[in-house]
């Protein structure tokens, strides 16, 4: 008896080239014994609506897109109690989570990973007891760089594009006082940004938290203290290369299963959080881990 697989893809993700790889991906799924159905996203909310209606009928769900599309599918599966494993074919502008899992960037290679049927339960982050994130929740400067970098510039310059966009943002740095609470302590700090990471990096910065794990029941919290501009330029380079970044005196880092961030004054840069590249709730936010919340096809 054939198993059933549903492939969801966002035709507007990344360079929009995944449509040329759909047939090759289906070939690998069918060879692995999956009767495959394809859903092409055409409007906001249509993926979740379809998963709510049909998700429990399938033995596997696959998503092609960037971190934001993966987030949509994973949230829909958890919200509607769809328990089958999730396969990822990275095709977005930001594919930080897939890169962390060492899923090939080339669609056919990613499809072959799914066909091999090696499945790992992974943790998810959750915000305010509601929305889940696969990779990152953050706020402040640099947290949305991957959305601001022009795709053609990124294709030409690679990581240098993120560096240039980060330098461009530097004059906008405004200190922001927050209260940071974890399961052990509460501290008040003036910061420029914070991120809670499930994996090792975000926005092209792949080595922010090099010891991160997606199955240890913990999130990595990283914040940058408000310091003079010349110190932040050095820190930004460390952030880009991963060289001794977490040991810098201007970096706050800890691992925990619970984090709360409260704004001690208003600042438009921190009005909203960024969740896997999409707009999240305003501060204050409570962030926790949901251990082994979802199963993923991995190499």
Which residues are designated catalytic? Answer: 278
How many CB atoms are closer than 10 A to CB 294? 22
Helix residue spans in the chain (DSSP H):
22-31, 46-54, 67-79, 96-100, 107-116, 145-148, 151-157, 159-169, 229-241
Dihedral sign, Cα of residue 146, residue 256, residue 280, residue 63: positive
Tallying the residues shown for the chain, one arrives at 299
- Contact status, residue 276 vs residue 70, Cβ threshold 8 Å: yes
Tokens of 165: 């966009």
Dist. CA 21–CA 24, nearest whole Å? 5
């Amino acid at each position: 008896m054939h198993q059933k697989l549903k492939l969801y893809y966002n035709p507007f993700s990344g360079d929009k080239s995944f449509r040329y790889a759909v047939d090759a991906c289906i070939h690998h799924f069918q060879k692995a014994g999956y009767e495959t159905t394809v859903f092409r996203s055409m409007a906001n909310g249509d993926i979740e609506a379809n998963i709510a209606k049909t998700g429990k009928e399938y033995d596997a769900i696959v998503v092609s897109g960037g971190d934001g599309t993966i987030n949509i599918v994973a949230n829909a599966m958890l919200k509607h109690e769809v328990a089958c494993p999730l396969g990822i074919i990275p095709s977005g502008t930001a594919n930080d989570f897939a890169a962390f899992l060492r899923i090939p960037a080339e669609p056919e290679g990613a499809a072959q990973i799914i066909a091999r049927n090696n499945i790992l339960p992974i943790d998810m982050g959750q915000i305010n007891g509601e929305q889940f994130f696969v990779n990152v929740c953050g706020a402040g400067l640099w947290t949305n760089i991957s959305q601001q970098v022009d795709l053609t510039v990124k294709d030409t310059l690679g990581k240098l594009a993120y560096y240039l966009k980060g330098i461009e943002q530097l004059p906008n740095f405004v200190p922001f006082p927050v209260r940071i609470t974890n399961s052990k302590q509460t501290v008040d700090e003036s910061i420029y940004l914070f991120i809670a990471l499930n994996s090792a990096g975000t926005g092209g910065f792949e080595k922010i938290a090099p010891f991160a794990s997606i199955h240890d029941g913990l999130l990595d919290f990283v914040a940058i203290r408000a310091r003079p501009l010349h110190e932040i330029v050095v820190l930004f380079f460390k952030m880009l290369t991963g060289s001794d970044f977490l040991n810098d005196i201007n970096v706050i880092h800890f691992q925990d299963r619970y984090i709360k961030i409260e704004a001690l004054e208003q600042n438009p840069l921190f009005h909203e959080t960024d969740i896997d590249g999409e707009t999240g709730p305003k501060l204050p936010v409570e962030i926790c881990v949901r251990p082994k919340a979802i199963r993923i096809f991995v190499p």
